[in-house]
A and B are shown apart, each in its own frame.
Chain A
């Protein structure tokens, strides 16, 4: 499996994505804690819909899904031993994560175009 993000490359990517995901989420949580009350629908949409925010959020989902893939893959490789089952589970997980990426991308794109 080292061809699909394995070994040192996966180790490094897991750490790089973790830092971006953590910084982004902390920014979101702190911003919402300070400005969440009385933000309202218009304020929410203006904030999320800002071009820079859309870009940062798209990057966040990309980093998050890569991070999830590497983490889940490690868990599966530890606990699922029969090869056929392991490959099936990995394929289904990859499919689900790609679907989430397409879904999140669509939501952001629709927000950007409105």
Chain B
């Protein structure tokens, strides 16, 4: 890319977003994914309440290996959206307003979301 005859060099690997920006964007992405999961959730609720057979089918589906990618994605979306959302609420109360505190809170949200994802998936499988 050239402008005014000078080369503009963007090394994408050298650009690092601050952790707060990544957690914030993750909150947005996970939110959109969770919206897409609403019809699935209503469908599964409907099937599980309709009959004994429907209940067994839903119980089998959520544990099915083929469903694992969806389960993993949804578990992460829920975990990240919840914890990054709590981070936003704390920021509204001006907690972690200094840079170091804000970074710690963002790291805590991201790491906590990873742990919670694992716990949710294991809770479904075990």
Once the chains bind, are A18 and B48 in contact (CB under 8 Å)? no
Q: Of A33, A40, A49, which is within 8 A of B123 by CB?
A: A33
Give chain A interface residues in 4-33, CB to chain B under 8 Å. 15, 18-19, 22, 25, 29, 32-33
Bound: A107/B56 CA distance, A: 18
Cβ distance B118 to chain A, nearest Cβ, rounded Å: 14
Q: How many residues on A have C-beta within 8 angstroms of the other chain's C-beta atoms?
A: 27
- A-facing mask of B32-52, CB < 8 A → 1, else 0? 101100110010011011011
Bound: A41/B57 CA distance, A: 11
Once the chains bind, are B55 and A44 in contact (CB under 8 Å)? yes
Bound: A90/B86 CA distance, A: 27
Bound: A103/B52 CA distance, A: 21
Given A18-B89, A22-B85; A64-B38 close (CB under 8 Å): yes
Bound: A41/B56 CA distance, A: 8
Bound: A111/B48 CA distance, A: 11
Cβ distance A99 to chain B, nearest Cβ, rounded Å: 9
Closest to A100 in B: B38
Bound: A48/B32 CA distance, A: 27
Cβ distance A94 to chain B, nearest Cβ, rounded Å: 12
Bound: A65/B51 CA distance, A: 27
Given A15-B92, A33-B123, A100-B42; A44-B82 close (CB under 8 Å): no
Indicate whether A45 reaches chain B with its CB closer than 8 angstroms.
Answer: yes
Cβ distance A45 to chain B, nearest Cβ, rounded Å: 6
Using a CB–CB cutoff of 8 Å, the interface residues on chain B facing chain A are 28, 31-32, 34-35, 38-39, 42, 45-46, 48-49, 51-52, 55-56, 78, 82, 85-86, 89, 92, 120, 123
Apart from A41-B55, A103-B39: 18 A-B pairs, beta carbons within 8 A: A15-B89, A19-B89, A22-B82, A22-B86, A25-B78, A25-B82, A32-B123, A40-B55, A44-B49, A45-B49, A65-B38, A68-B38, A71-B32, A72-B35, A100-B42, A104-B42, A104-B45, A107-B49
Using a CB–CB cutoff of 8 Å, the interface residues on chain A facing chain B are 15, 18-19, 22, 25, 29, 32-33, 36, 40-41, 44-45, 48-49, 64-65, 68, 71-72, 75, 100, 103-104, 107, 110-111
